Amino acid sequence: MKKSTWVLGAAALLALSVAVAGCGGGDKKEAAKGVKGEVMVYTSIYPDIIDNMCKPNLAKAFPEMKVNWFQGGTEKVVTKITGEMKANKVGTDVLMVADPSYYLKLDKEGWLMPYKSKEHNNVIADKAENGAWYAVRVCNMIIAYNADKLKAEDAPKSWQELTDPKWKGKIAMPNPMLSGTAYVAVGALADKFGWEYFDKLKANGIRVESGNSAIQNKLLTGEYAAAMILEENILKLAATKKEPLKVSYPAEGVINIPSPIAIFKTTKNAEGAKAMVDWWLSKEGQQAVVKGWMHSVRGDVKEPLGSVETKKLVEGRVKVNWQKLADNNAAIKEEFRKRVME
């Protein structure tokens, strides 16, 4: 196993409290000079964020390079890549999906290109020391509720509270078979509370939806009183559509998911892929990430509008055993399926 930094540990937490010195990332025009050809990106970033944030920013940063996108939930992307690997025809140059443990597996199997970005020292979140992958956006699994249907003082304030009978039949979560962030959440909560936690959720009538988007819609209609969901979904709806959905940050901590970016060794445009990694990790790229309602991996970029300080969320987060998630993917999913979905 190559050496990796699974943050955010003490050093990174200290770094989060101050602005990173010497940040920047160089002149944008100079960085884009000579970057041509095409780059294919496989990603789980939401389609509207790709269209409204990713495409315009990358077109501006790399006017001579064509960037193509394949979008799907993390598990859909993983399934696609797995088939391509078997056929020895990997179609992507750059990978940006949600589950950090998948990158550990890919790196161990030798699929990723070590590239030490010029922004390496500015990334204070998780990264491989040899540059095989870098956290590029930080998502948080939280509890959400509809403020038109539920008062703040009455909303669930902890993961354990979701097992309270008063929420029976009124709670939901995304499917870890389809969602990488949901898979991380299941592994983290099972480690923290034991698998019995999910037995209690099943007994409390928890519904398993296809993904975060399906849940947010049913929170809006009032079908669900509360749900596990990504913070970014709720922040975006509250800010852009003035929807009454609110975030409840669980007392035991959020599930902090530093989702990586990596280059496949099979890339046909290594220079273009490297330039893209550099841009995403630059201050400019990270400011774009935050405009997509996700948290930055740098210490000199503020949290997204409507959230709390990234440092506070990181300090109190639920511990995640990334290597365990990488090594036991099928077993963890099967345990969840048997306990919750049968």
Please indicate, yes or no, whether residues 147 and 280 belong to a single structural domain of this protein: no
DSSP readout, 77-142? HHHHHHHHHHTT----SEEE-S-HHHHHHHHHTT-BPP---TTGGGB-S-EETTSS-EEEEEEEEE
pLDDT per position as a tens digit, 170-207 = 999 999 999 999 999 999 999 999 999 999 999 999 99
Same domain, 334 and 301: no
Per the structure, the count of domains in the chain is 2
Model-level pTM? 0.89
Q: What is the pLDDT of residue 211?
A: 87
Give Cα 266 to chain centroid, integer Å. 24
Q: Say yes or no: 131 and 270 in one domain.
A: yes
Angle, CA 319 vertex, CA 126 and CA 141 arms, to 5° = 80
Indicate if 249 and 269 belong to the same structural domain. no
Segments in the chain below pLDDT 50: 1-3, 7-31
Residue numbers of the domain that contains 199: 139-255+320-341
pLDDT at 34: 74
Q: Identify whether residues 186 and 62 lie together within a single domain.
A: no
Q: Report the pLDDT value the prediction gives residue 12, as an integer from 0 to 100.
A: 44
Task: Looking at the structure, tell me whether residues 337 and 298 fall in a common domain.
Answer: no
- pLDDT on residue 32: 58
End-to-end CA distance of the chain: 36
Domain co-membership, 42 together with 19: yes
Sign of CA dihedral 272, 132, 51, 284: negative
Q: What is the pLDDT of residue 20?
A: 33
Find the CATH number of the domain harbouring 244.
Answer: 3.40.190.10
